[in-house]
Amino acid sequence: MRALAVEDDARIAADLTTALQAAGFVVQTCADGETAWFLGDTEDFDLIVLDLGLPKLDGLSVLKRWRAAGRDMPVLVLTARGTWSERVEGIDAGADDYLPKPFRMEELVARARALVRRAAGRGGAVQAAGELTLDANRMTVARRGVPMAVTALEYRLLAYLMLHRDRVVAPGELLEHLYGDDFSREANALEALVARLRRKLGPGIIGTRRGFGYFLEGGGVAA
Ligand code: CA
């Protein structure tokens, strides 16, 4: 899961990064509106947390430009305390949710997860594909109800495949969402990760469509 945190207050940006990383996101940050607009326009994020008061280009204008360009990723807007007009403007501009400052990181994370699930058209925190279940709140996975010990990276891979379980996910897309902008990662790192997970989880969980990518067995992709 890839998140972009747009916030010019360095301390809040650092807290956002820590909280979102702990929730399983790969986090990129930026501190001005122009950079934010460019990143959101040219790269794919599963979630964007957007402060409205930003240098160079204000958050509302950034959001309006993204939506005008057809960019429909979930955006959680951070507003100054008590400014109801900002909230209304934010929703009008295409925000999916908003949170007035100051806020508790726990609440931000809960809303972030809800937005990502809603964006993928799945309501509940516990999702299933075939024999695999994944609890997005507890960040745990189980096979036939038996909990499986997975690393944070392995969890992120399974969570991404689960969110997109109705289709085959290309390796390039998986790499981008697992590692963010770290392009030094190569496809064989992904192959090794998948091989390790298959040993752990057993057969019949992660399917491969040769030349296209990976999918969760029983998730809705015709084998
Ligand atoms: Ca600000």
Rounded-to-integer distance, Cα 111 and Cα 208, Å: 33
Would strands 206-209 and 213-216 be described as parallel, antiparallel, or unpaired?
A: antiparallel
Q: How far apart are CA 68 and CA 37, in angstroms?
A: 12
Instruction: Tell me how far the alpha carbon of residue 54 lies from the centroid of ligand 1, in angstroms.
Output: 5
**Confidence (pLDDT) at 123:** 59
pLDDT, residue 107, reads: 93
Distance 182 CA to ligand 1 centre (A): 27
- Residue type present at position 4: L
Buried b (16+ CB within 10 A) or exposed e, 28-44: bbbbebebbbebbeeee
Cα 8 to middle of ligand 1, angstroms: 5
Going from the Cα of 9 to the center of ligand 1, the distance in angstroms, rounded, reads 6
Distance 4 CA to ligand 1 centre (A): 15
Which residues is 98 bridged to in the sheet?
Answer: 77
Tally of helices (H runs) and strands (E runs) in the chain: 8, 11
Question: For residues 200 and 142, is the Cβ–Cβ distance under 8 A?
Answer: no
Residue 43 CA to ligand 1 centre (angstroms): 22
Report the C-alpha gap between 23 and 156 in whole angstroms: 10
Q: Determine phi and psi for 174, rounding to 5 degrees.
A: -60, -45
Vertex 98, ends 92 and 99: CA angle to 5°? 150
Instruction: State in Å: Cα 7 to ligand 1 middle.
Output: 6
pLDDT of residue 59: 94
Q: What is the mean pLDDT of each run of 10 residues along the chain (223 residues)?
A: 95 96 94 97 94 94 92 90 72 85 92 86 76 86 90 91 90 85 71 92 92 91 73
**Distance from the alpha carbon of residue 36 to the mean position of ligand 1, in angstroms:** 13
What is the separation, in whole angstroms, between the first and last Cα of the chain? 25
Cβ count near 138 (within 10 Å): 10
Q: How far is the CA of 6 from the centre of ligand 1 (A)?
A: 9
How far does residue 138's CA lie from ligand 1's centre (Å)? 31
Between CA 205 and CA 189 the distance in angstroms is 19
Domains of the chain, CATH where assigned? 2-119 (3.40.50.2300), 126-216 (1.10.10.10)
At 219 the pLDDT is: 87
Task: Give residue 81 CA to ligand 1 midpoint distance, Å.
Answer: 12
Prediction pTM value: 0.69
CA 169 – ligand 1 centroid, Å: 36
